[in-house]
Every structure is written in C-alpha cells, then in structure tokens.
Amino acid sequence: MEWIEEAVDGGGKLLTGGKLVDEDRCVAPTLIEHPNTEAKVWCEEVFGPVATIDRFSDFDEALRRANDSKFGLQAGVFTRDIGNGLKAGNTLEFGGVLINEVPTFRADQQPYGGVKDSGNTREGPAYSVIELTEERMVTFQAG
C-alpha cells in the first residue's frame, strides 16, 4: 500500500484498486497510469496484483524504457506487427519475452527465470536436473 500511495502522490493516476480487501489482508488488483520512474511500483519488482501502464508513440523508446530496469524476469509485449515482436525478442534484456501473452505465463517444460537482479538461473525439469548434477571428468590410462 505504501508503494501505491507513493506512486499516486508522485503523480501517477490510480485507474483501479489501490485499497485493501478481504478483511484488509490483500491488495485489490491495482493499475497505476504513468507513475514517476522513481516510484517503487515502476522501478522495483512489485509482484502481486499491482501493475503500471504508460503510453509510448515510439516502439524503440518503449523497449529502451523496459531495458532501463535493474530487473529482468519476463516481459509481455502486445503487438500486431511481427517485426516489432521480433525486435522485442532480440532487444529486451529479460529471461523471457512473450509476444501477445502476459509475462506471468509459464509452462513447466519451458526455461523460466530472470536476468540482472531477477536471477541468473532457470527453472523447469531439465534445468533442475542440470542444477542438481555435478559433472565430473574421469580418464583411464590403459597400461
């Protein structure tokens, strides 16, 4: 709630939510338009039912703004232009870039994980096996 209040006090427009529900135990789904880039909801990993939204007239500027984060778990990009989708996939510094899908989507068999301050490993069965395996080289000299 402090992060939401900080964003609104700093000029962000509260579009929905911004209050506690369920006997004050949960934050209502909250959407904040154009928060200050110093606001924690913009520059930290907020997780939960809180999201920010901003408008861009230049797609490259939107990509630059997304990469300007110290975090990089997953990004969702919605576009009708396949060229912009491919550009996002090649440009965004995130563990996963999902085109026309929300960034919270995952399947167990996919490599799920972040980059930068969002982590440096991947989750999923194949990646778990690698993480739990210690490789060893053994040589044998016949003689």
In angstroms, the first-to-last Cα distance of the chain is 72
- Model pLDDT, residue 85: 96
How far are the Cα atoms of 13, 71, 143 from residue 78, in angstroms, in the given order?
Answer: 22, 20, 64
Same domain? For 51 and 7 the reply is: yes
- Model pLDDT, residue 94: 94
Taking 90 as the threshold, does the pLDDT of residue 78 lie above it? yes
- Model pLDDT, residue 125: 77
Range of the domain at 83: 70-133
Same domain? For 7 and 32 the reply is: yes
For the record, the structure tokens of 42 come out as: 């913009």
- Model pLDDT, residue 68: 92
For the record, the structure tokens of 133 come out as: 């395996």
Q: Distance (Å, rounded) from C-alpha 86 to C-alpha 25?
A: 41
pTM: 0.72
Count the alpha carbons within 13 Å of 59 in the hemisphere toward its beta carbon: 15
Assess if residue 60 is contained within a domain: no
Assess if residue 5 is contained within a domain: yes
Tell me how many domains the chain contains. Answer: 2
Same domain? For 49 and 74 the reply is: no
- Mean pLDDT, the chain, rounded, equals 89
